[in-house]
Structure 1
Amino acid sequence: MLEHGGRLLRAVRQYGIAREQWLDLSSGIAPWPFPIPAIPLDAWARLPETEDGLEDSARAYYGASQLLPVAGSQAAIQALPLMRAACRVGVLSPCYAEHPYAWQRAGHQLVELGESQVEAALDSLDVLVLVNPNNPTGHRVPRDRLLAWHARLAARGGWLLVDEAFMDNTPAGSVMDCAERPGLIVLRSFGKFFGLAGVRLGFVAAEHSLLLRLAEWLGPWTVNGPTRVLAQASLADQAAQRTQIERCAAASHRLAAMLSGAGLAPTGGCDLFQYVRSEGAARLHDFLARRGILVRLFEHPAAVRLGLPASEGDEQRLALALAAYQKETA
């Protein structure tokens, strides 16, 4: 299994600090979950059915003409590489590690690319995979550039796969509305923006024929009934969505300022996390963990990613720890 954020129980065992004493900032998930609606008994007792209102709510929210709900975007990440014959796949790097892992495991030839290398390499690729905003750096590729890349790939039967797991806070950059075009596949994650990662829900937007193939590949009942009810309510709650966008942006701005004040100016980030490249990343990760603060460590390149603190108290706790780290390393 690849390394991911949210491995709190492992940190509990490693550092000997009780779970309730941790401040977990290791995942880029909004720390303010949307309210859970009343779940009718039928949602638990009956097999879930498609087109029960969830798909309509999702199409309206994402601005997509057609999409497929899946059990977390991870389900699609693992299935899509199995739906093409072995080919040459470019991955915009650094990247959410499950993407290159899934394509390589399925027997495809993998090419890691920086954004400046894509233009020269594009005509030699069958598939280009990227996360936008990037995970873990938060970097965004402009929409018009993505659509130009897609046009070149699609002209040869290729795919552009765009994972927009962190796009909800800045939806103007999305290409979801163009995903009916052949060869453009867009993934969205429900759990991150709505703060409900535990429900395991994602969406895939693509041309109709590909969605049919993917649905058949994944099989029936991939999204459970209670999740379908919960997601419909969240996707329709425009007031809560506006509040979430505003408080995430404000909290991310405060986090960036806090890190800069501690001599750890972010080198990337978005409205759900901040990213700091540093040769001392492992030392910072351990220093914070020994104080019950869990952040995400990356080795190549050496960096840490910090999710948003949920409260003023959490921010103060992090600020004190960062000040202590700055003093120790001065």
Structure 2
Amino acid sequence: MQLRHIVAVVDSSAASVQAAWRAARLAWAHGAALSLVAPMAVPGRHPSARHGPSAPPVRMRAALADMADTMAAAIGIRPAVAVDLEGEDGAVLRRHAQVADLVVVPAALAPGGPAPWWRGSLAGRLLHEAGVAVLIARRPPGTAHRCALVATGLDAEAAGLLLRAAGWLCQPRAVLACHVLDPAIQRHLHAADLPLPAVQSWLETATRRAELALGEQLVRAGLPAGQAMVLRGPAPARLLQALQSRGASLLVVGKPRRGPWAERWRPSLAQRLAAATRCDVLWLPTPPTSAQAARQRLGWLDAAAP
């Protein structure tokens, strides 16, 4: 699981420039290709709105070219640049996301941003439509991630992808796998009117088995087996507490491919964590087979387009 192509979504904000530089440093570290894409909806169809030295697309393209020159001079990477005149739902951004391994977006395009809820965030739409991993960049690009918290289940395939993806941005010794036991199990045990010692014994056994399973997944991903943590209680609150107590600057979590209406009425764990935390968040589409299906669907749509 390697980074070969990274796409950074850029607008006129300072946060998007920081996200682009974060993507550039990742591309330099992994030897990946980099593309800077600026989605902007141009009002009106008059030629003056799209062409000429004062037209917004021309100025944006010039700004992207200047940024590419600066990156080439600073770190030796010259990214490709593109302006999508159809806005965030344009075909140019969609084509770049389809072939990318990672899309980097600023915090304004993540959950909790200014986008209306019925549209959803651009980060969520890219993951849903293109099946691509999305990095929500909030930290300055020059700061390294000293600790990454990977919120994972006990499924070996999905956990392996999350743990290996954490290695994109963090050293292996700083990756911590975290699993939260389902609180519904404890409620069912109490509802069964079992003795308290029996409930505690069962929970301790479940915790130990989860730690062993996480240790095996860490070893398979090439990471130290002792970097596993099992928590009890509500998953969002416990994970946010773990982020703060461990001083983690990166959260890696799987996100199901769901539309904005589904996220509105029943937000996923990844959606709630991304809206509540201030650290960088890396989303990976789950299950992994859904990402392949999304890319195949995009390929069919592009082939059918006139």
TM-score (norm 2): 0.30
Larger of the two Rg values belongs to structure: 2
Query: Which one has more relative contact order, counting CA pairs under 8 Å at least 6 apart?
Result: 1
TM-score (norm 1): 0.28
